[in-house]
């Protein structure tokens, strides 16, 4: 009998999209014609049998591995947490002269989800960690070049299972003031997906997100008793809201006034409780951004999305990092209404 030839090698380097995790297999892996879509990772792993039995609770104890045969569960969990926490992917840098570049967001993020492929026991212990450990970040306008659903949280969470949506801990939205006030926000309550919980919501208004920032107009944010406050109240499972406001040095006093006024705000929640200011002073930070962001903004530079080293060096020489940006973070926590 002729010996079977080895299968054609096929490699698949899975890189979750920036800051977010929704594990799906990519149909075809570049093969033409593409085969039918592969089943989700969870279906493939949990369908495997051990001995004559099957099911999610049927698993080998893997005691030959130091992870299960030597280490205490608490230490093993710390290793899993470290392995499944997102990290900076320096192979996918952000443009420094862009709207989305800032401290903590210098490049795309990746998660080493290969750990979930190791065995059934590891999968069962860790499959929700990438969802719960990491912040899910969305840009409602001018997103980075990486990520299929960077501006659509509904489409992104729809790719998750109901169990995964219930494991979400933190969502971060970069929003323009126009969006928050009058565009998609009033329509958003009907879009929350079944099972989704968002215990912590961060909303960041950057210097370039204020209305008419190019004309140096006064900083303005509506009181939350308008529709955007109702939208906040509709967020399922919300326990904490962080509102980050940012502006340039010449508008620092205006920023202080907006932050001081925000401390009096309340956000009634649909579960009957209410978000109120936590009583702490607004957290303060300062960072230096590209001079291209100075009003009115150099759009031909800021709107260029794809990273190009030669162009980046050219812009580095033309636009210094001397634009001082002030940030104030106000925190609201849920309390029962008395």
Q: Residue 50 carries which DSSP code? A: B
Predicted pLDDT at 304: 86
Question: Judging by beta carbons within 10 Å of its beta carbon (0-12, 13-18, 19+), is residue 310 exposed, middle or buried?
Answer: exposed
pTM of the model: 0.81
Pair 251, 330 in one domain: yes
* Whole-number pLDDT of residue 209: 97
- Does residue 286 sit in the same domain as residue 207? yes
Q: Are residues 86 and 188 in the same domain?
A: no
> Is-contact 139 100, C-beta < 8 A?
yes
Pairing verdict, β 107-110 and 87-93: antiparallel
Bigger pLDDT: 49 vs 235: 235
- Extract the tokens encoding 211: 């209305």
Note whether 180 and 247 are same-domain residues.
Answer: yes
Which range among 82-96, 175-189, 221-235 has the greatest average pLDDT? 82-96
- In this structure, the answer to whether residues 124 and 179 fall within a common structural domain is no
Q: Length of the chain in residues, anyone?
A: 338
For residues 193 and 159, the answer to whether their CB atoms sit within 8 Å is no
Residue numbers of the domain that contains 186: 175-335
For residues 194 and 325, state if they share a domain.
yes
Which pLDDT belongs to residue 226?
A: 78
Q: pLDDT tens digit string along 158-214?
A: 999 999 999 999 999 999 999 998 654 445 555 688 899 999 999 999 999 999 999
Residue 183 · residue 222 · CB < 8 Å:
no
In the block, residue with structure tokens 């903004």:
297
Q: Are residues 45 and 193 in the same domain?
A: no
Give how many domains the chain has, as a whole number: 2
Q: State the DSSP code for 83.
A: H
Do 189 and 125 sit in the same domain of this protein?
A: no
Q: How many angstroms separate the CA atoms of 83 and 62, rounded?
A: 19
């Amino acid at each position: 009998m002729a010996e079977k030839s080895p299968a054609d090698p096929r490699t698949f380097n899975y890189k979750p999209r920036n800051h977010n995790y929704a594990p799906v297999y990519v149909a075809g892996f570049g093969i033409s014609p593409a085969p039918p879509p592969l089943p989700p990772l969870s279906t493939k792993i949990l369908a495997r049998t051990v001995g004559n039995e099957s099911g999610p609770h049927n698993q080998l104890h893997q005691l030959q591995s130091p992870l299960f045969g030597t280490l205490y569960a608490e230490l093993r969990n710390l290793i899993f947490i470290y392995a499944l926490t997102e990290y900076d992917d320096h192979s996918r840098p952000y443009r420094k002269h862009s709207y989305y570049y800032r401290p903590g967001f210098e490049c795309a993020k990746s998660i080493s989800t290969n750990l979930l492929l190791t065995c059934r026991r590891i999968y069962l212990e860790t499959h929700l960690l990438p969802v719960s450990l990491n912040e899910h970040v969305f840009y409602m306008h001018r997103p980075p070049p990486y990520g299929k659903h960077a501006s659509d949280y509904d489409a992104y969470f729809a790719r998750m299972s109901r169990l995964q949506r219930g494991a979400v801990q933190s969502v971060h939205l970069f929003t323009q003031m126009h969006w928050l006030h009058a565009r998609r926000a009033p329509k958003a309550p009907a879009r929350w997906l079944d099972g989704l919980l968002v215990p912590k919501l961060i909303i960041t208004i950057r210097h370039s997100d204020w209305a008419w920032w190019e004309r140096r107009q006064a900083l303005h944010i509506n009181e939350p008793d308008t529709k955007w406050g109702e939208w906040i109240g509709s967020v399922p499972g919300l326990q904490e809201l962080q509102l980050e406001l940012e502006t340039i040095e010449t508008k620092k006093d205006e920023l202080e006034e907006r932050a001081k006024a925000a401390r009096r705000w309340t956000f009634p929640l649909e579960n009957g409780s209410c978000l109120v200011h936590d009583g702490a002073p607004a957290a303060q930070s300062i960072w230096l951004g590209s001079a291209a962001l100075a009003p009115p903004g150099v759009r031909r530079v800021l709107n260029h999305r794809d990273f190009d080293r030669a162009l980046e060096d050219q812009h580095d020489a033309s636009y210094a990092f001397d634009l001082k940006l002030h940030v104030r973070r106000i925190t609201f926590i849920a309390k029962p209404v008395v």
